[in-house]
Amino acid sequence: MKRAIPLLSLAGAILAPAPALADASNPVCPEERVFYNPGDGEDIVVPRGFKVEVFAKDLNFPTDVAFLGDKHNFRVLVLESGTGLPSRCNDNTKVPGIGKFDPRNPFTPGLTTFDRGGRKLSGPIGKPTASGGGFQPDGPAIGLSFEHDTQGGTLFATDSNQGVRGAPGAANNTSRIVRVSLSSGAVTPVITGLPTGDHPTEQIVVKDGWLYWSQGSATNAGVTGHDNGGGGNQHDIACEDITLSENTWASPHPGQPDHRTSGYSNHGVARPGAIVPAFEGATRRGMCTGAILRAKISNPMNSIEPVA
């Protein structure tokens, strides 16, 4: 029988003591209680021949999973994302009795290891520290991949500081690819300065000496508007030279004069018909948005290039 094993989560949840059917609430917004019953995942519909069962539960928004070992003896590493896009209910500075850099904070990223039965072995490691160690505190941390797949080697992950979105320019170019030490918990940047907007650096895989990752788009529509950090977030970055259309888009805002913006441009910059060079506004050549990028493990910062 093949199995699909879910990791069930409710970010920041505090469970009530009911034995089977439990409500949960967010510690930052305790008034927002929800019905929470992971059960055995029996409400997940899968094709005939598959079975769903709970592997681990009560996690804080798991975003990726990696396996280490073989089918007879393996460990499962789970990356939890932290906050991501900001909300009053996932503010990592407002958890009662827990500081922002407390390792117990449910709204900062971390990596936890389980055995094959779903029993916690260690972690979370990589939790942010006030001195700048660990994953970035405002998240999300999304991607996770071993250099040699289930046989291990260097463990890579992606993170960003997207959660400070709205603070002018604070989240721009904060996405990273990092190396995580399972023995020490140290998180070491490998590639920095990647774009961060509506969608940061996300999933990652390693193959034949190359890192491949999905680089999210900076906006939802190619135009930087007031919804993009009040217009302060970075614009989308082209992977090759492009020619803009003659169209521009208005961004009306109370108390401000009307202004128009072109695609792939800073907010308030209208340049109809302009030629936009590849990688304009990127911190390094090869970085662009809404793309699959790659870099050599042996020389990551100087070998970044778009794949698709």
CA distance 176 to 110: 15
pLDDT tens digit sequence for 256-302: 777 899 999 999 999 999 999 999 999 999 999 999 999 999 999 99
Residues 49 and 128 in one domain: no
Measure CA of the first residue to CA of the last residue in the chain; give whole Å: 36
DSSP, collapsed to helix, strand or coil, labels residue 14 as: strand
What pLDDT was estimated at residue 6? Answer: 53
Whether 76 and 103 map to the same domain: the answer is: yes
Q: Looking at the structure, do residues 50 and 92 belong to the same domain, yes or no?
A: no
* Amino acid, res. 255: G
Regarding whether 143 and 49 lie in a shared domain, the answer is no
Residue 108 near residue 92 (C-beta atoms within 8 A): yes
Residues 89 and 29 both lie in one domain = no
**How high is the pLDDT of residue 7?**
57
Whether the ω angle into residue 140 lies within 30 degrees of 0, i.e. cis, is yes
pLDDT reported for residue 168: 57
Q: What angle do CA 136, 141, 143 make, to 5 degrees?
A: 140
Write down the pLDDT at residue 14: 44
Same-domain check for residues 144 and 2: no
pLDDT (0 to 100) of residue 53: 86
Tens of pLDDT, residues 166-203: 665 568 999 999 999 999 999 999 999 999 989 999 99
Exposed, middle or buried by CB within 10 Å (0-12, 13-18, 19+), for 156? buried
- What tokens does 254 get? 């109370």
Q: Phi/psi at 69 (nearest 5 deg)? A: 125, -155
Phi (first) and psi of residue 39, to 5 degrees:
50, -135
Q: Does residue 219 sit in the same domain as residue 85?
A: yes
Give the domain extent around 50: 1-55
Q: Is the peptide bond before 124 cis (omega within 30 degrees of 0)?
A: yes
State the pLDDT at residue 159: 96
The reply to whether 65 and 50 lie within a common domain is: no
Specify the number of domains making up the chain. 2
- Stretches in the chain below the pLDDT threshold 70: 1-22, 165-170
**pLDDT of amino acid 169:** 58
What counts of helices (H) and strands (E) characterise the chain? Answer: 0, 23
- Do residue 155 and residue 44 come from a single domain? no
